[in-house]
Amino acid sequence: MKILLINDTHEKYGGAENFFFNLKKKLIERNYNVLSLGFSNNLSHDDRSIVFPISKNRFLRGLNRIIFNPFMYFKIKKAIKKFDPDIINLFNTNNYTPTLFKAISGYKVLQSILDYRLICPVFTCDKDEKLHICDGIICKNKYLIKNPLKKFIVFYQHKLFRKLTIKSISYYYTPSTHLKHCLELNDFHPIEQIPLFLTFKKGILNFDNVNFNSILYVGQIEVNKGIWDLVYSIKDVTKFLPKICLKIAGNGSQFYQIEKFIIKNKLENNIKLLGSIRNLKPLYEECCLLIVPSTIQESFGFVTAEAMFNSRAVLGSNRGATTWLVKDNITGEIFDPEKNELSEKIISLLNNKKKLMSYGFEAKKRITKIANTKKILEQIINLYKKNLYQ
């Protein structure tokens, strides 16, 4: 079976690319004939890759997302024809979208959907305002785009994107139950849920070095990650638990504002901004709880998964994959960021060490079961075979 993997970005960038290159590696290890194709200006690559450069001009890049480019079409088509794949596994398609879809027509194509872009047109559009839950049927985030021309382009592009996808793809797979549900609602089917590969080290198994006053946030310091809800809640919590200490690992546009807030409210002992941390293990060692207060849909939740690997309870918002990864009242707890319940939940959890430890042990069990690399790979290969002989 000859397998072609295609992603819009052919370099190590985010979670999607991580999964893309991991899958390629694992399929090669299983002796499949695999080739990857994508776009990048970093043109150093192995002989199992085909990489096309991408325009550095933002306008041209945007244009190539909505109009057909015959020059690029010719190049991609030629490369695909030469390899002659039995199956194409498409990932993200945000570069040369119409061109790419035309070039893969006639082949068996299935797609890994790793974010909510197909569901909500403005999902990635505005980083600074609170997004409402949008399942895509009628976009609830429309108001975020004020410029009418921009609004038209975003919605036109999204409509085209959906149309091309539905026309070209014979099967989908996606890592979370919530995303699967939303995709089905929006006519993307058939679809299967298959988790992502998790390549964390063994992880912590006990609570020997834990401080039951320390809690952890890991991720971007952005409004839509719920960071403000979290620091306001900590301010409330200090009235009841004066020793509480929130450690924030990460960077983002809100860093300095949060720093100011800490100083203004004399919370220096209760909130620590640590910046980006490469090795999180000592923090997991010390903290008894991870908080994921995101107000946008989490596609998979690597941070949640990593905390679970390290036997730590997770208190997460009811957004996206978090509600599937975290079994409410078993491996952690779920809260609604639109209700004012975060402070209350934190206080109740920190007052119950036994519960925190039980959640931690159960979290480790659950994530170990989910992150079965061999099983995940088997599921993907079976999907390829199923489509091939259909």
Residues at the site binding Zn ion, with contacts judged by CB under 5 A: 120, 134, 139, 141
Of 45, 53, 59, residue with least CA distance to 76? 53
Between 134 and 246, whose beta carbon lies closer to Zn ion? 134
Cβ count within 10 A of residue 311? 22
Q: Minimum distance between the CB of residue 150 and Zn ion, rounded to whole angstroms?
A: 15
Count CA within 13 A, CB hemisphere, residue 14. 11
Q: Minimum distance between the CB of residue 310 and Zn ion, rounded to whole angstroms?
A: 34
Q: Minimum distance between the CB of residue 136 and Zn ion, rounded to whole angstroms?
A: 6
Contacts for 132 with CB less than 8 Å, ≥ 6 apart: 140, 141
**Which residue's entry shows tokens 């997770």?**
314
Q: Minimum distance between the CB of residue 221 and Zn ion, rounded to whole angstroms?
A: 24
- DSSP-derived pairing of the beta strands 109-112 and 171-174: parallel
Largest CA distance in the chain: 68
Q: Minimum distance between the CB of residue 134 and Zn ion, rounded to whole angstroms?
A: 3
Between 157 and 213, whose beta carbon lies closer to Zn ion? 157
Between 162 and 345, whose beta carbon lies closer to Zn ion? 162
Cβ count within 10 A of residue 128? 10
DSSP string covering 138-186, please? S-TTGGG---HHHHHHHHHHHHHHHHHHHHH-SEEEES-HHHHHHHHHT
Between 139 and 367, whose beta carbon lies closer to Zn ion? 139
Q: Minimum distance between the CB of residue 159 and Zn ion, rounded to whole angstroms?
A: 13
Between 23 and 134, whose beta carbon lies closer to Zn ion? 134
Tokens (6 digits) for 317: 């918002």
Between 130 and 355, whose beta carbon lies closer to Zn ion? 130
